[in-house]
Amino acid sequence: MLPALNPDSANLTDVLSSSFQAIQGEANRLSLPPVKHAVVLLVDGLGAHSLKARSGHARTLSSAFSKQSTIQSGFPTTTASAIASLTTGTRAGQHGLVGYSALDTVNDRVLNQLSGWDSQLDPATWQRVPTIFERATELGFTAVTVGAARYRGSGFTKAVLRGAQYLAAGSLAERLRTAMAVSRTSDVASITYVYVPELDMAGHAHGWQSPQWTHALEALDSALAGVVDQIEPDQGLLVTADHGMVDVPAHAHVLFDTSPELLRGIRHIAGEPRCLQLHFEANLPKEERDQVLERWLEAEGHRSWVASRADAIAAGWFGEVDSAVAPRIGDIVVAARKAIAYYDSRIANDHGRLMVGQHGSWSDDELRVPLLRFGAFAQ
């Protein structure tokens, strides 16, 4: 049986949308009380399991953490898809960012959804759904995003953060102070989003179980401690994450190109190491397509969920899928069950093979993320 999101559990699509409803004084999925100013802090790579395991290093975060304060990310558990889901309130099948890399069918190429944007891809149309920031500004509210200066003009920012004023801030502490100050400078209700990449960077380089990741967690907790006591009475703060992480040692890398039969009939390989999305050669007969799927099932079905596009969509992996988005999803999706990661050894200087921390698939370590409430949201 294929995995699926629990429909009774909140997920990332509920976080910013509920905050938006809270500044309007409306009922919302997360039962947030009405506030004038809402702040959402997204910590890239902070899984609920990892936070619980290192709770002694994060007293401020842990003070708001309980068994009830976790939600689901979404599928795939990767930054591009997850942040787009957060900022639009929709799943990948609607907003269209279906993986770390995805097939651009018009130009017959695979594109990195975080950093691969160019003149052939329009952020305003590739990401297909109005953002919550756009909806907020249309109603006269203030919408702000806070992040590093290097992200300000990126295609990804234009796709998923459009409609918000972008404020650049350097250190983690400065980003938090900038975000929390919005309530003092905005005469109208506001919604603010803050991005923290440091934990994810440490996790990819060293693993979430490393001293480096723990140090990054301590720095986050210290920065958060510096602002939580200064939250205004009409201000609510949520802390969440886009995904968690599993550590994958080098000996658990699966070099799929060393089995040439797996590549017969495959034109493009998209996705990420823990969630491959395989696209067939154009005009490949159905009989041969079925054979490709059978070969992957036989070779990898014991350690990964291997599903056709149709079966993945039917299982709700990408939520409701628009007809324009469906071709971006792999004809075959290979989502790791065990602590493995898939690589193509033919790619020279593949820096991804140096990564320890990985994500993209269905494990609880990847899927479950914290939802921590501070200020008026904690009442």
pLDDT in tens, 195-216: 999 999 999 999 999 999 999 9
Spell out the domain ranges in the chain: 12-99+113-246+362-378, 250-358
N- to C-terminal Cα distance for the chain? 40
Contact between 92 and 98 (Cβ < 8 Å): yes
What crossing angle do the helices spanning 79-88 and 15-23 adopt, rounded to 10°?
Answer: 20
Beta bridge partners of 357: 247
**Looking at residue 302, what is its pLDDT?**
98
DSSP 8-state symbol, 135? H
| Mean pLDDT within 289-296 | 98
| Mean pLDDT within 99-109 | 97
Q: What is the amino acid identity at position 188? A: V
pLDDT band at 114 (very low <50, low <70, confident <90, very high): very high
CA torsion through residues 231, 188, 168, 157, sign: positive
Contact between 103 and 323 (Cβ < 8 Å): no
Q: What is the amino acid identity at position 159? A: A
Picking from 213, 166, 228, the residue whose alpha carbon sits closest to that of residue 378 is 228
**Looking at residue 171, what is its pLDDT?**
96
Beta bridge partners of 103: 110
Q: Which two tokens stand for residue 29?
A: 């999925």
| Mean pLDDT within 52-65 | 97
Contact between 164 and 10 (Cβ < 8 Å): no
Q: Which two tokens stand for residue 240?
A: 């969440």
What crossing angle do the helices spanning 198-206 and 211-228 adopt, rounded to 10°?
Answer: 170
Assess whether pLDDT exceeds 90 at residue 68.
Answer: no
Q: What percent of the chain has pLDDT over 70?
A: 99
pLDDT band at 379 (very low <50, low <70, confident <90, very high): confident
Contact between 126 and 174 (Cβ < 8 Å): no
> Which CATH code, of 3.40.50.300, 1.10.3720.10, 3.30.1360.180, 3.40.50.720, is assigned to 250-358?
3.30.1360.180
pLDDT averaged over every residue in the chain = 97
Picking from 63, 49, 365, the residue whose alpha carbon sits closest to that of residue 221 is 63
pTM: 0.97
**Looking at residue 364, what is its pLDDT?**
97
**Looking at residue 111, what is its pLDDT?**
95
Picking from 375, 315, 362, 373, the residue whose alpha carbon sits closest to that of residue 334 is 362
What's the CA gap between 209 and 138, in Å, rounded?
A: 44
Exposure string over 328-343, b if 16+ CB within 10 A, otherwise e: bbbbbbbbbbeebbbb
Segment among 153-157, 219-223, 346-350 with least mean pLDDT: 346-350
**Looking at residue 34, what is its pLDDT?**
98
Question: Under CATH, what is the fold of the domain 12-99+113-246+362-378?
Answer: Alkaline Phosphatase, subunit A (3.40.720)
Q: Which two tokens stand for residue 48?
A: 């609920």
**Looking at residue 109, what is its pLDDT?**
97
Q: Which two tokens stand for residue 342?
A: 């898939």
CA 156, distance to chain mean position in Å, is 12
Assess whether pLDDT exceeds 90 at residue 132.
Answer: yes
| Mean pLDDT within 362-375 | 98
Q: What angle do CA 217, 219, 221 make, to 5 degrees?
A: 70
